[in-house]
């Protein structure tokens, strides 16, 4: 697996960690830990952007954070779930996939042009 993809997965996981931390933190020490997780998260984000298209990395980061936060709200914090939420989450996933596919198409066209 490509190192950049590993960094991308890590940044998505760490984003969910600090979002979870926002919901459960109550002491100054919790907020210090959350600050450290946020700094580490942005480090992983910057490392992922070194060899992957920044727009795609950010779309995946934001999409995973949005869907992960919504699912966390539903399953951990007893939030509500309905068909509209499910449809909009699927729309986010479809958008991220299509963005990634369009980046792959652009990269293949550049390779053909260079050959």
On whether residue 22 sits in a domain, the answer given is yes
**pLDDT score at 109:** 66
Evaluate whether residue 24 is within a structural domain: yes
The answer as to whether 114 is a domain residue is: no
State the Cα–Cα distance between residues 104 and 41, nearest whole angstrom: 25
- Is the Cβ–Cβ distance between 103 and 53 less than 8 Å? yes
**Tell me: the pLDDT tens digits for 15-60?**
999 999 999 999 999 999 999 999 999 999 999 999 988 888 888 8
Range of the domain at 77: 3-106
Per-residue pLDDT at 6 = 95
- Report the percent of the chain where pLDDT is more than 90: 65
pLDDT of the residue at 105: 66
CA 81 to chain centre: 21
Question: What are the Cα distances from residue 77, in Å, to 13, 27, 72, 74, 84?
Answer: 18, 19, 7, 6, 19
Distance CA 29, CA 105 (A): 47
For the chain, the domain total comes to 1
Tell me, yes or no, whether 33 lies in a domain.
yes
Does residue 111 lie within any of the structural domains? no
């Amino acid at each position: 697996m490509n190192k950049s993809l590993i960094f991308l997965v890590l940044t998505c996981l760490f984003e969910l960690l600090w979002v979870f931390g926002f919901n459960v933190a109550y002491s100054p020490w919790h907020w210090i830990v959350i600050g450290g997780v946020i700094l580490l998260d942005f480090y992983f984000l910057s490392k992922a952007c070194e060899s992957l298209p920044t727009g795609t990395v950010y779309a995946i980061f934001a999409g995973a954070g949005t869907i992960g936060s919504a699912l966390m709200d539903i399953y951990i914090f007893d939030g509500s779930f309905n068909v509209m939420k499910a449809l909009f989450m699927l729309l986010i996933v479809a958008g991220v996939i299509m963005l990634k596919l369009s980046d792959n198409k652009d990269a293949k066209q550049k390779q053909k042009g260079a050959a």
